[in-house]
Structure 1
Amino acid sequence: MMYEVLGPLRVLDGEDSFTISARKVQTVLAALVVRCDQVVAPGQLITEIWGDVPPRRATAGLHVYISQVRKLLNRPGRTANPLLTRVSGYQLRTDDDEIDFRLFLGAVERGRALMRERRDEEAMACLEGALDLWRGPVLGDLRSGPIIEGFVTWMTELRLECLELLADVHLRLGRHREVIGRLQLLVGENPLCEAYYRQLMLALYRSGRQAEALGVYQSARSLLMEELGLEPCRALRDLQQAILTADEGLDLRAAS
Structure 2
Amino acid sequence: MQVLLATLLVQRNRVVSAERIIEEIWGESPPRRATAALHVYISQLRKLLAVADGGTHPVVTRAPGYLMQLHGEETDVEFFSGLLSRGRACMAVGNHQEASERFEAALGLWRGPVLSGLREGPIVNGFAAWAEELRLECVELLVEVNFMLGRHRELVSFLQSVVSEHPLHETFYRQLMLALYRCNRRAEALEIYQRARNTLKAELGLEPCRALHDMHSAILTSDDRLEAGQPVAF
Q: TM-score, normalised by structure 2?
A: 0.94
For 2:223, give the aligned amino acid.
Answer: D
Do structure 1's residue 228 and structure 2's residue 216 form an aligned pair?
no
Do structure 1's residue 97 and structure 2's residue 79 form an aligned pair?
no
For 1:138, give the aligned amino acid.
Answer: V
Q: Alpha-carbon deviations, 1:216-236, whole Å to 9, x = none?
A: 111111222222222211111
Cα distance in 2 for residues equivalent to 1:255 and 1:160: 19
**Is the Cα–Cα contact under 8 Å of residues 27 and 144 in structure 1 kept in the other structure?**
no
Classify 1:253/1:27 alpha carbon distance in 2 versus 1 (closer, same or farther; 3 Å).
Answer: closer
Cα distance in 2 for residues equivalent to 1:95 and 1:178: 41
- Which has the larger displacement, 87-96 or 136-145? 136-145
**What does 1:181-220 correspond to in 2, within 5 Å?**
181-220=157-196
Do structure 1's residue 63 and structure 2's residue 39 form an aligned pair?
yes
- Aligned partner of 1:88 among 19, 44, 64: 64
Counterpart secondary structure, 1:170:
helix
**Is the Cα–Cα contact under 8 Å of residues 17 and 63 in structure 2 kept in the other structure?**
no
Q: Alpha-carbon deviations, 1:65-101, whole Å to 9, x = none?
A: 0111111111347721111111221111110222111
**Is the Cα–Cα contact under 8 Å of residues 176 and 189 in structure 2 kept in the other structure?**
yes
Do structure 1's residue 49 and structure 2's residue 25 form an aligned pair?
yes
Q: How many residues align?
A: 232
| 1:33 paired residue number | 9
Cα distance in 2 for residues equivalent to 1:48 and 1:255: 44
**Is the Cα–Cα contact under 8 Å of residues 248 and 254 in structure 1 kept in the other structure?**
no
- Aligned partner of 2:118 among 131, 139, 142: 142
Do structure 1's residue 154 and structure 2's residue 130 form an aligned pair?
yes
Cα distance in 1 for residues equivalent to 2:18 and 2:36: 11
| 2:89 paired residue number | 113
Counterpart secondary structure, 2:176:
helix
| Seq. identity, % | 53
Higher relative CO (Cα under 8 Å, sequence separation at least 6) belongs to 1
Counterpart secondary structure, 1:91:
strand
Q: Alpha-carbon deviations, 1:105-128, whole Å to 9, x = none?
A: 121122122212221111111111
Counterpart secondary structure, 1:85:
strand
Do structure 1's residue 239 and structure 2's residue 204 form an aligned pair?
no
For 2:12, give the aligned amino acid.
Answer: C
Classify 1:244/1:84 alpha carbon distance in 2 versus 1 (closer, same or farther; 3 Å).
Answer: same
Q: Alpha-carbon deviations, 1:138-165, whole Å to 9, x = none?
A: 1132223111111111112221121111
Greater strand fraction, Structure 1 or Structure 2: 1
Cα distance in 2 for residues equivalent to 1:58 and 1:42: 10
Cα distance in 2 for residues equivalent to 1:193 and 1:75: 45
| 1:253 paired residue number | 229
Q: 1:186: how far off?
A: 1.0
Counterpart secondary structure, 2:150:
coil
Cα distance in 2 for residues equivalent to 1:74 and 1:155: 29
Counterpart secondary structure, 2:66:
strand
For 1:51, give the aligned amino acid.
Answer: G
